[in-house]
Amino acid sequence: MTPLELLWSGWRSSYVTGLAAQQDGASVFESILSSGRSDEETHIVHRGELVFVVMNLYPYGVGHMLVLPNRRVADLEELTPAETTALWATVTVAVRVAKAALTCSGVNVGLNLGAGAGGSVPEHLHVHVVPRWVGDANFMTATANTRTLPEALPVTAAKLRDGWASA
């Protein structure tokens, strides 16, 4: 491995160890939802009766949201009919909010179900909603396996939270 392949993210260690300490068998998402911390601190942009929306702390791009059921469920077929309806209705609103609040020109929506599909938290399904702009990819991902994000997560979360309030 060459030194150019390393990117130090010291802040990530305290985040990961802090979540591990508070999980007590819960998924990372259950821990976030039940932490008692403010939505601003946890980067939750929307809470619904059956689902919630949180910013991805390791985003593919600016505004990367995760829409997921409040209850830990690994597979789509484990969702109740009400959870299924709430999940997809919330994904639709998340797309609308991303377009309005961030003026993106496109949105990627997707799931990775199970570890074999690349799911990083396979025990708690989540739908990725990733705003996109023409030309938003650059050489950093291809040459340095690094993403550049031009806006801080709390700033983007505030825009999306405000957008959600008016959606």
Residue pointed to by tokens 């942009």: 45
Q: Give the model's pLDDT for residue 49.
A: 97
Strands 51-55 and 44-47: what pairing? Answer: antiparallel
Q: Give the model's pLDDT for residue 140.
A: 52
pLDDT along the chain (167 residues), means of 10: 48 48 73 94 96 91 94 95 98 97 94 82 92 73 59 85 86
Q: Give the model's pLDDT for residue 3.
A: 44
Choose among 43, 50, 46: nearest CA to 73.
50
Residue pointed to by tokens 């979360």: 157
Residue 112's SS3 state is: coil
Please name the residues in contact with 38: beta carbons below 8 A apart, sequence gap of 6 or more: none
Please name the residues in contact with 134: beta carbons below 8 A apart, sequence gap of 6 or more: 105, 106
Please name the residues in contact with 87: beta carbons below 8 A apart, sequence gap of 6 or more: 50, 51, 67, 68, 69, 79, 127
- Active site amino acids: 126
Q: Give the model's pLDDT for residue 24.
A: 65
Alpha-carbon distances, residue 28 vs 7, 17, 48, 96, 166 (angstroms): 24, 11, 18, 26, 29
Which sequence spans correspond to the domains of the chain?
Answer: 32-166
Please name the residues in contact with 12: beta carbons below 8 A apart, sequence gap of 6 or more: none
Q: Give the model's pLDDT for residue 66.
A: 96
Residue 98's SS3 state is: helix
Q: Give the model's pLDDT for residue 9.
A: 53
Tokens of 164: 């959600």
The CATH code for residues 32-166 is 3.30.428.10
